Amino acid sequence: MTDSQKDLSGLRIDRETQPKAARFPWLKALVAAMVVIVVAALVYGALLARSPIDVDVTEARVASGASTTVLNASGYVTPRRRATVAAEITGRVTAMLVEEGMKVESGQVLARLDDAELRAQLGVAQSERDVALKSAAEIEASLSEAQRALRRNREIAASGLVSDQELERSETETKVLAARLELSRQQVEAAARRIEQAEHNLDNCTVRAPFAGVAVSKDAQVGEIVSPISAGGGFTRTGISTIVDMESLEIEVDVNEAYIARVQPGQSVEATLDAYPDWKIPARVRTTIPTADRQKATVKVRIAFDALDPRILPDMGVKVAFLESTQEKGMAVVPIALVPLDAVRKDKGANVIFVVKDDRLERRAVQVGGPIGADAQIQAGLQAGEIVVVRGPEDLENGQRVRMRNKAP
C-alpha cells in the first residue's frame, strides 16, 4: 500500500461507530414538541378545573305551617261590590267630577246633567199648585156663604116666608160648592205630587256614588248625552263611571267538578298573583257556589283574603293552592322545604337538586310534593336554610366549584 492510499483510507467514515440517533435528527424535536403539548393540556385542564362556574342560588324556605297542597287552580281577583253608575234620566253632561283612580265616598257627586228644562217643569208645577190653592180658597168662601144662607132659609121655612123651591135651590147650591171644593183640594194635591216628581227629576241630574270605593273608569265626558238605556247608533252613553269597593276584593276560581270534594268552606289557601310570583298571600275559602257549569264541568269557588293589600287590584290573574293540614289528617308534622320550581332538575327520571356547600356542588336526590304557586315542596332530601342552585349550566356535576352570581329572593 502506498503512502497516498493510506492517506485516503483515513478519510473514510466508519458507519459502524456512528450514533443511530444521528440518522434521524427530526425525531428528537418531534418528541420534545409532543411533551410540551401534553404538559400544556394538563396545565390548562387543571386551570379549568380550578375555575368556578357562575350559578344563581336561593335559600330553601320552610313551608308556612305543616300543610300539603291537595289542589291547584287559577282565577282572577274580583270585587263583590262593583257598580257602573248611570244617570236615571237622559240628559247632557255639564260637569264630570270624577277621574280614574279617585277615591269616592258614599253619596259623593260624580257628575251633573243639564237641568234647565227640568227646572222650568218644576216652576210650572209650582204655579199650578198656587192656582189650585187660590181656587180652593175662593170656593171655600162661597161654600161658607151658601151654608149660612141655607141655615137661614131652614129657620124661616117653618113660618112660610121661604118657599120649598127656594129651600131646595139653597141646598143644591151648597152641595155643588162642597163638591167643587173637594175637587179643588184634589187638584192642589195633584199639583203637589207633580212638584215632587219635578224635584225628583231635578235631583236625578246630579249623579252620586252609591257606596264608598275607587273609580276604576270614567265612561262619559262633558257634552255627551247619557241615558239609563242604550240608544240606537251607539252615540248615547249608558254609564258615568265604574266604582269598585276595594274592601270587598276576593278570588274567584273555577274548580273541575271531579275535584270539588277536596274544597271545603274555611279551608286554607295560598294565593300567588301573576304580577308578584314570589309573594305568597294567605287566604281562605269563603264559599262554593252551589251550581256547576254544564259546558265547562266546573264549580265556581270564592276565596277571601286574610288581609287586603294595596297591591291587590281587581281582575289580576292569580294562582291558588288549596292546602290541607297534616295535623287535621292526624299525621306527624314533617318539616317541608320550599324551593323555586327551576331548582328541581330531572336526571334519569329522578328529581335532583344541587346544593352549594363551601363553594362546591353537592348533588341530592329529593322527593318532590305538589307545587305551591311558583315553588315546589321538597318533602325529603333537603332542609330549609340550605343554599340551592336555581339557574346554571345544564352539565353541573357533583363536587364542581361554583361562584354564587346572584342570590334569588
What is the tens place of the pLDDT at every residue in 85-111?
988 888 899 999 999 989 999 999 999
Q: Is the pLDDT of residue 141 over 70?
A: yes
Other Cβ atoms less than 10 A from the Cβ of 296: the count is 11
Question: Residues 17-38: pLDDT tens digits?
Answer: 555 444 556 666 777 778 777 7
85 neighbors 106 (Cβ within 8 angstroms): no
Q: Decide if pLDDT at 4 tops 80.
A: no
Where does the pLDDT of residue 40 fall: very low under 50, low under 70, confident under 90, or very high at 90 and above?
Answer: low
Structure confidence at residue 104 (pLDDT): 93
Helix ranges (H only) for 66-115 are none
Which residue's entry shows cell 352549594? 356
C-alpha cell at 154: 131652614
Residue 49 has pLDDT above 60, yes or no: no
The domain segmentation of the chain, as residue ranges, is: 53-63+334-407, 68-80+248-325, 88-114+205-244, 116-203
Question: Using DSSP, how many helices (H) and how many strands (E) does the chain show?
Answer: 4, 24
Q: How many residues does the chain have?
A: 409
Reduced DSSP (H G I as helix, E B as strand, rest coil) percent helix, strand, coil of the chain, to 5: 35, 35, 30
Distance separating alpha carbons of residues 341 and 387, to the nearest angstrom: 14
Q: Are 389 and 380 in contact (CB under 8 A)?
A: no
User: Taking all residues of the chain, what is their mean pLDDT, rounded to a whole number?
Assistant: 81
Query: Given this model, what pLDDT does residue 333 score?
Result: 46
Give which of 61, 59, 62, 48 is closest to 406, Cα–Cα.
Answer: 59
Indicate if the pLDDT at residue 383 is higher than 90: no
State pLDDT tens for residues 385-403: 888 888 888 877 788 888 8
Q: Which amino acid is at 359?
A: D
- Give the pLDDT score at 327: 46
Cβ–Cβ < 8 Å for 364, 354: yes
Q: How far apart are CA 386 and CA 357, in angstroms?
A: 9
Q: What is the mean pLDDT of residues 305-333?
A: 78
Give the architecture-level CATH label for domain 53-63+334-407.
Beta Barrel (2.40)
Architecture of domain 68-80+248-325: Beta Barrel (2.40)
pLDDT tens for residues 193-222? 999 888 888 898 999 999 999 999 898 889
pLDDT at 326: 46
Confidence at residue 16, expressed as pLDDT on a 0 to 100 scale: 52
pLDDT value at 245 more than 90: yes
Q: Is residue 156 helix, strand or coil? A: helix
Structure-model confidence comparison of residues 190 and 348, the more confident one: 190
Count other C-beta atoms under 10 Å from residue 188's C-beta: 19
pLDDT of residue 79 exceeding 90: yes
Calpha distance 115→107 (Å, rounded): 19
Q: CATH classification of 88-114+205-244 is 2.50.20.10, yes or no?
A: no
Mean pLDDT of 363-382: 79
What is the arithmetic mean of pLDDT over 111-133? 88
User: Residue 160 gets which letter from DSSP?
Assistant: T
The angle, 0 to 180 degrees and rounded to 10, between the axes of the packed helices 116-157 and 164-203 is 160
